[in-house]
Amino acid sequence: MPARFSAYPPDRAVVVRILDDSQRYQVGRTAVCEVQLDHSSVSRMHAEIVQEGGVWRLTDLGSKNGMRVDGRLVSEASLSSPTWFAIGDVYCWLEPMSAQTARDAAAFADVRRSTSRALSQQLQQVHSVDLLLRQVLDAVLELSQLERGFVLYGASPAELHVRATQGMDRTDLSRSSFSGSAGSLERCMAERRSVICCDTSDSPWLGARPSVVLGGIRALVCVPLLLGQEILGAIYADSRSPGPLLTEFDMELVEGVAHQGAAALAAARLRGAVDELRRAANEAGVASLHWNELRPR
């Protein structure tokens, strides 16, 4: 019987894997593990999960911070029903599931991939920057299932400003009254990487921020619009109700759309520059013609 494994690293996307009952899974911080958990409390090779006799067996591989099941430190545990446990300081959930449920989950993932591809392809057909920004934001909100958001965009890092919003009043986006998380946006821009939080009440750096507390924010994501190393802006989205639990798969889709959006924005910017050069050339040609007509013969 397969199982769904979910891990909840702080300030990270939820790690979800459908475990095949015929395979053996190592869990740890190193990339060679079948289930990688990038957290300081997790050892490089921390634990192993394998099904034996219809029961999922969890075994510690000599880790530094151990495993806990029902709050007790254990070196081995047999999990036959949905169970919470901890690998280091990362809370995990293992839920046995039927083969049909596993197939349904895989089919739903395929549908979401197709949706993401369709949204990305639509962006390539849009030539208006303002319309493009609105569609990028709509796509991110649809894929992340968050409530509201905005896009920060400009011709240069010094000229960034809000260009598209949904569920937010532009008058609420000034620094003095911003009801979102300015800290997450600043970190996203400075580090050029996505910032994500599934539950700000458990976040050590977001949970106590006044903007987060006063805004009632529970979940958020901020994704940079990158073209190579150039940052064109960022997409911010959040929710004031608990969840949804954003997974690595969700973030893969969201970041894919953001990447396509950045490429489309760069193309639109290039088209604008070419059009401007053409206008300037045409105006210069007209001026030259008028001067030739006025010259004495």
Distance CA 38, CA 102 (A): 25
Per the structure, the count of domains in the chain is 2
Q: Would residue 58 count as lying in a domain?
A: yes
Residue 289 lies in a domain: no
pLDDT given at position 189: 87
Q: Which residue ranges in the chain fall short of pLDDT 50?
A: 200, 202-216, 291
Say whether both 38 and 76 belong to one domain. yes
Instruction: Say yes or no: 141 and 184 in one domain.
Output: yes
> In terms of domains, do 88 and 137 share one?
no
pLDDT value of position 280: 66
Residue 222: what pLDDT?
A: 92
- Does residue 22 belong to any structural domain of this protein? yes
Provide the 3-class DSSP secondary structure of residue 268. Answer: helix
Q: How many Cα atoms occupy the beta-carbon half-sphere of 209 within 13 Å?
A: 19
Nearest-CA neighbor of 213 among 222, 204, 200? 200
pLDDT of residue 211: 41
Asked if 14 contacts 248 with a C-beta cutoff of 8 angstroms, the reply is yes
**47 lies in the same domain as 141:** no
Q: Kindly state whether residue 147 falls inside one of the protein's structural domains.
A: yes
Distance CA 258, CA 172 (A): 24
Residue 125: per-residue pLDDT: 81
The reply to whether 93 and 174 lie within a common domain is: no
Whether 25 and 19 have beta carbons less than 8 Å apart is answered as: yes
* Type of residue numbered 172: D
pLDDT for res 266: 83
Q: What is the pTM of this model?
A: 0.76
**Same-domain status, 204 and 247:** yes
The residues with which 92 forms a beta bridge, in sequence order, are 7, 85
pLDDT for the residue numbered 186: 85
Element (H, E) at 49: strand 47-52
Residue 207: predicted pLDDT = 40
The confidence score (pLDDT) of residue 30 equals 93
**Same domain for 88 and 162?**
no
3-state helix, strand, coil in the chain (%, to 5): 40, 30, 30
Residue 30 structural domain: 3-97
**Of 206, 265, 207, nearest to 234 (Cα)?**
265
Residues 173 and 270 in one domain: yes
For 106-144, b where at least 16 C-beta lie within 10 A, e where not — what string?
Answer: eeeeeebeeebeebbebbeebeebeebbbbbbbbbbbbb
Q: Are residues 168 and 77 in the same domain?
A: no
How far is the C-alpha of 236 from the C-alpha of 251, rounded, in Å?
A: 13
Position 139 scores a pLDDT of: 92
Residues 129 and 267 in one domain: yes
The pLDDT of residue 13 = 87
In a domain, 247, yes or no: yes
**Does 282 reside within a domain?**
no
* Residue 4 pLDDT: 93
71 and 208 share one domain: no
